[in-house]
Copies of this chain bind each other. A is one copy, B any other.
Amino acid sequence: MRKHAITLVICSVLLLQGVPARAQDTVMQVSTIDALVAGVYDGSLTCAGLLQYGDVGIGTFDRLEGEMVVLDGTVYQVKGDGTVHRPGPDMKTPFAAVCRFVADETITLHKGMDYKEVEQKIDASISGTNLFYAIKIMGTFSYMKTRSVPAQSKPYPPLAEVAKSQSIFEMHNIAGTIVGFRCPPYVQGINVPGYHLHFISDDRTQGGHVLDFVFDQGDCHIDRCHRFLMVLPTEEEAFQKVDLSRDRSRELQQIEK
């Protein structure tokens, strides 16, 4: 009977906590990129809640306080001053995307390749651009350029305004991991079409949203995902009221790179 009770409890917890079955090959995201671009920065899901859907991913935090890197089930926060923190389980995110990373493919990158060349190499290796691809590049980089942003105060300025005061970080000969996604073109308005990558150093002291890099050596793993789960905020008035019918793709392009 005790075994029965334990099994029942485990199964109930799995089901009630919202752990999706077949979570593998599922990119799960919180809110939409256009809501973030428009200035909806109040978090709607906790980091603990986010980790139920995946162990690898990217995003940002409540009040847009820095860049999120999720790696091996740990959430890292690269703040606007460049310092790296491990936020508590109750810290919320207004926008993030994660997956339970299981590599389908390993792609050979060559020393000296930059961001653009790595994109082209991955594009040439995958079977098409209509699915989602999670990306993990572990290795050393002769150059890494990232950015981060500080926490914002209400009334929140739109993301394009915030980007003007972003901090840029440059690293040389650094060991670490790039994580992120290649999203299909039709996610426009929902997520970032194409590549969106974040970085965290092996010693967990540096990182951010990747602007550019030069690959030195390491492994590039790809997880092809054919399921996409979007969890929208229900309580946040700002999300319910924001105009998501406008085309904000130009604004997004200016911000992303």
CB within 8 Å of B: which residues of A? 1, 3-4, 7-8, 10-11, 14-22, 32, 34-35, 127-132, 184-190, 224, 226-234, 239-242, 244-245
Contacts and interface: CB of A to CB of B under 8 A. Distances in A.
A3 B130 CA distance: 45
Contacts of A21: 14-21
B16 A240 contact: no
A135 to B, nearest CB: 18
A244 B4 contact: no
Nearest to A184: B244
A232 B241 contact: no
Contacts of A232: 130-132, 226-228
Given A21-B18, A21-B21, A231 B240 contact: no
A80 to B, nearest CB: 28
A158 to B, nearest CB: 16
Contact of A7 (B7, B19, B132, B190): B7
Contacts of A20: 20-21
Contact of A229 (B7, B14, B34, B228): B228
A11 to B, nearest CB: 3
Contacts of A35: 130
A128 B241 contact: yes
B226 A234 contact: yes
27 contacts: A1-B3, A4-B4, A8-B11, A10-B11, A14-B21, A18-B22, A21-B21, A34-B186, A128-B240, A128-B241, A130-B232, A130-B242, A130-B244, A132-B232, A185-B245, A186-B189, A186-B244, A186-B245, A188-B188, A188-B189, A190-B190, A226-B233, A227-B229, A227-B230, A227-B231, A229-B229, A229-B230
A211 B233 CA distance: 32
